[in-house]
Structure 1
Amino acid sequence: MIELLLTSFPVLIRYIQLRLRGEAMTIWNMKTALYAWACLAFALFVTIFYFHPKSYTGLVPFRTISVVAQANGPVTEVAVENGQAVKAGDLLFRIENSSQTAALTQAKAELAQLDAAEAKAKDALTLAKASVTSANASLAKLQQDLDQAQTLLDRNVGTQDKVRELEAAVISAEATREAAKAQTDVAETDLSQSIPAQRAVAEAAVQRAQVELDHTEVRAYADGTVTQMAMSVGSPASQLVLRPGMVIIPERGEDAHLRVIAGFPQVARATLYEGMPAEIACESNLNLSNRDAVLPAHIVAIQPAIASGQVTPGGDLLEPSARATRGSILVYFELLHPEHEAIMLDGSGCIIQTYTNRLPGVFGHVISATGVVKAAGLRLKVWGALIAGVGLGGGGH
C-alpha cells in the first residue's frame, strides 16, 4: 500500500492536468499515466523487496536440560516443585539407596582390613629384622668357637669331632640368618608393593561405591527454572533421556550474547551480509505504546550451508526429487543494545526486517532510503497484530 502511494504521482499529475483543462477523466487519456504508475510501482516493489528482505520465521532459541537419574530405584524425596528457581548443585530428588550404602560400607571395611594388614606387616618386619640381628650374633659366636677349635686341633690339643660339630652349627646358623633375611624381604615387599597395590584397589572400590551412592542424589548442573516435573515420591526414577523426570530451563550466561535466528529464502543470499542492520519485532514484546516492540539488531553470522541439503550415510542412494522442499538460509542476529536482551522472552516468534546500507554512490543512497518503507510497514504490522490480537502472523519470508 505504501509503495503504491509513493508511485502514484504520475496519475495525480495527469488528473490535475485534465481538471485544469476541463476534460473528463477516461481510461484513454489516463493510460500513459497508469502505465507509468505501474512501471514505477513494479520497479519500487522489486527494489524494496530485493534489497530489504524480511523473514517471518524469527525465533529466540534456547536450550533445556533434561533431568534423568543415573541409578535405578524408587524416588524417596522430591526437593523441588514446578516453577522453582534452582542453583547449580541444588538437590532435585533422591532415590532409594540401601544397596549403594551397603556397598560403600563393605568397601570401607575392606580398606580397614588393609590398615590392619599393614600394621601386621610392620610388626613382621620388625620381628624379622630382630631375627636377622640374633642370627648374625649367633653366627659370629659360632664362627669364633670354630676358629678356636681349629686352632686347638692344629696344636694337637683339640679333637676333630669338636671341629665338625662347630662347622655344622655354623652352617645351621647361616641358614637361620638367610631365613630371617627372607622373612625381612617378604615383609618389606608387602609394605612397599603388595599392600599399596591392594590399598589402591580398595580405595578405587570405595570411590566407585561413593559415586554410586552419589548418583542416588540428583542435583542441578546449572542455574535455571524447573518445569515439566513428572515425578513424585514412590515413582520409579527414569533413566531415559526421552522421558526425563523434569526439565530445567537454564538461565542465560552473563557473558553469552542473546542470538535470534531466522530463515531467509535462498534468493536473498546475494543481499544478506554480516553486519547488515536489521530490526526485530517479537510477539512477546508487543504493547500498545509500541515501546521496545521493534528492536535494532544486526547480522553476526550466516550459516554456510542449507540444512535441507544435508546427506547422511544410508542404504539408499540419494534421490534429489525426494527433497522437493527448498530449505532456507539460516541467519544469526544480535541486538545492538545489550540491555534489550533482558526483555526478550526465550522461544518467542519474531519478524525480522533487514536493510541494505552498503551500496556505493547515489543509487546506493536511494536504495538505503527506500528501507523507510519497510520500516514503516513493519511498525504498521506490529500495531495491526496487536489490535487484531492474532500475533505477528504471516506467510513466506
Structure 2
Amino acid sequence: MFELLLCSIFTVLPDYLFRRYRQGKRIGKEITLFSVWYELRYGIVGCAILTISLITLIFYFHPSSHNVASFFRTLTILPEKNGRVVEIYTGNDALVKSGDPLFRLDDRAETEAVEMARQEIEQIRAQMAVAEADLAVAAGNLEEAQGAYAQVRDELNVKADLLSRGTNAVSRREVEKLEVALTTRQGGVNAAMANMTAVQTRLDTLLPAQLASAEAALRSAEVALSKTVVRAGVDGEIQQFALQVGDIVNPLLRPAGILIPEKPKDVVFQAGFQQVSAQVVKAGVIAEMTCASLPFEVVPMLVTSVQPVIAAGQFRPTDRLLDISERSKPGTFLAKMIPLYPEQVKNVPWGSQCIANAYTNTHDQLENPDVGAGEWLFLHMVQTVGIVHALLLRVQALLWPIQTLVFSGH
C-alpha cells in the first residue's frame, strides 16, 4: 500500500492535474466512478507498472524474512542404565553447574560389586604374602639340597682318589654307590631350583597380573557405581523435572527432564530467506530485526555467514529410489546474524519469533570511478529504496503488538 501511494504521486496525480487544469475535467462531472479508468488510464497503468517494479526492486535487493529465531540446544536428562530413583538432589527450575548431582538410582548391586572387587584385591595381596613365605621355604630347600650334594661329592672325590691309588680301604662298589647318590642329590638340587623359580615367577608375574586385573575390575565396578548418580553435563537450568522417589527411569522410554544450557555470550540468530535472494544476502550485509518478545524495538544486525546448501535438497540413502517431484517445496537458505549491539537482545528469550530485513550496500560500487551514469543512477536508486523497506519494518514493529493483543483474539 505504501509503495502504491508513493508511485501514485508520480503517475496518477500528474495525470489528474493535467486533466483538471489543462482539459478542465472535474471529479464528479467528467471524471466519475465509471469514467475514471478512461480518463486516468495513462496514470493508472503507469502507477501499476511503477508499483510492481518498485516492489520487485525493494524485495529483491532488500529481502525480508519472517522466519527468524535464535535456536538453542536442550539436553535430555537420562541415566546410562535403567533403575529406580532412591534420592533426588535438585528440583524443577533449578540452576545447576556442570558435575552437580541431580538424582541417584538404586545402587545396591553396584555397591556389592565394588566390595567383591576389593575383597578380591585383598585376597590376591594375601596370596602374594604367602608366596613370599613359600619363596623363603624354597630357598631353604635349595640350600639344603646343595649342601647334601656337596657332601656326597666330596666323599666321592676322596674315595675315588683312594681307589685310584690301589688301596684296599675303599671298594669299587662304594664308589659306584656314591656316584649314584651324587646323581640323586643333583636331581634334588634341580628340583629345588625349579620349585624356587616357580614360586618366584608366581610372585613376580602371575600374582601382579591377577592384582592388576582385580584393580581394573574394581575401577570398572566403581565406574558402574558412579553411573547410578546422574549429574549435570553443562551449566544450565532444569526444566520438566518431575521425578519422585520410587520412579523407574529408562534411557530409552522414560527421561527424567530437560537441561537447558546457559545462554552464550554471543547470541546468533538464524534467518531463512527465499532462494531468489541468494545472490543478495552475503556475509557482511547489514540487516535489521524486530521480535515479538521485544516490541517497538528495531535491532541492527550483521550477517556473519550464509549456509552454502539448502536443506530442501538433502537426502538420505534408503531402499527406495528418490523421486525429485517429492521435493517440490523450494525451501529457504539459512543466514546467521549477530546483533551489532548485544545488550539490545540480552532480554530476548531463546526461540523468539522475529522479522528481519537485509539491506544491499552499494557504496563500494559507487566509489568505483569507472561506473557509468546509468549504473550510477541505478545503484543510487537501489540504495534509496531501502528506506522504504526500513520504514515498513518499523511499521511492523509498531503494529505487531497491536495485532497480537487486540486483533488476534488471544
* TM beyond 0.5: yes
Q: Deviations over 1:150-190 (max 9, x none)?
A: 11222213222332332233222211111111112111211
Q: Deviations over 1:54-107 (max 9, x none)?
A: 111111100100011222221111111110000011110011111111111111
Cα distance between partner residues in 1 of 2:304 and 2:102: 38
Are positions 1:344 and 2:356 aligned together?
no
Q: Deviations over 1:298-320 (max 9, x none)?
A: 22222222222222222222222
CA contact (8 A) 1:71 1:212 kept: no
Cα distance between partner residues in 1 of 2:345 and 2:318: 42
Are positions 1:100 and 2:76 aligned together?
no
Change over 3 Å in CA distance of 1:391–1:128 after alignment to 2:
farther
Cα distance between partner residues in 2 of 1:280 and 1:130: 92
Are positions 1:370 and 2:380 aligned together?
no
The answer for the alignment partner of 2:323 in structure 1 is: 319
Q: Deviations over 1:8-35 (max 9, x none)?
A: 3333344455665565253355333333
Cα distance between partner residues in 1 of 2:207 and 2:383: 81
Cα distance between partner residues in 1 of 2:250 and 2:209: 38
Cα distance between partner residues in 2 of 1:162 and 1:390: 126
Are positions 1:24 and 2:26 aligned together?
yes
Are positions 1:329 and 2:333 aligned together?
yes
Q: What's the CA shift for 1:391?
A: 10
Are positions 1:2 and 2:2 aligned together?
yes
Are positions 1:116 and 2:117 aligned together?
no
Pairwise mapping of residues 160-175 of structure 1 onto structure 2 (< 5 A)?
A: 160-175=172-187
Give the match's secondary structure for 2:293: helix
Q: What's the CA shift for 1:341?
A: 4.8
Cα distance between partner residues in 2 of 1:185 and 1:8: 110
Paired amino acid for 1:226: I
The range that moved more, 273-282 or 217-226, is 273-282
The answer for the alignment partner of 1:232 in structure 2 is: 244
Change over 3 Å in CA distance of 1:261–1:161 after alignment to 2:
same
The answer for the alignment partner of 1:284 in structure 2 is: 293
Cα distance between partner residues in 2 of 1:91 and 1:107: 25
CA contact (8 A) 1:100 1:209 kept: yes
Cα distance between partner residues in 2 of 1:391 and 1:48: 30
Are positions 1:131 and 2:141 aligned together?
yes
Paired amino acid for 2:94: Q
The range that moved more, 184-193 or 24-33, is 24-33
Change over 3 Å in CA distance of 1:391–1:212 after alignment to 2:
farther
Paired amino acid for 1:309: G
Change over 3 Å in CA distance of 1:82–1:262 after alignment to 2:
same
Q: Percent identity?
A: 35
The range that moved more, 23-32 or 170-179, is 23-32
Q: Deviations over 1:290-346 (max 9, x none)?
A: 3xx221112222222222222222222222223332222122222223434523311
The answer for the alignment partner of 1:209 in structure 2 is: 221
The answer for the alignment partner of 1:178 in structure 2 is: 190
Paired amino acid for 1:24: R
1:298 aligned residue (293, 297, 302): 302
Paired amino acid for 1:94: R
Are positions 1:151 and 2:167 aligned together?
no
Give the match's secondary structure for 1:89: coil
Cα distance between partner residues in 2 of 1:196 and 1:252: 51
Paired amino acid for 1:385: W
Are positions 1:247 and 2:258 aligned together?
yes
Give the match's secondary structure for 1:249: strand
1:382 aligned residue (397, 400, 410): 397
Q: What's the CA shift for 1:198?
A: 1.3
Q: What's the CA shift for 1:392?
A: 12
Q: What's the CA shift for 1:283?
A: 1.4
Give the match's secondary structure for 1:232: coil
Q: What's the CA shift for 1:109?
A: 0.7
Cα distance between partner residues in 2 of 1:342 and 1:141: 98
Cα distance between partner residues in 2 of 1:271 and 1:185: 84
Q: What's the CA shift for 1:384?
A: 0.4
Give the match's secondary structure for 2:318: coil
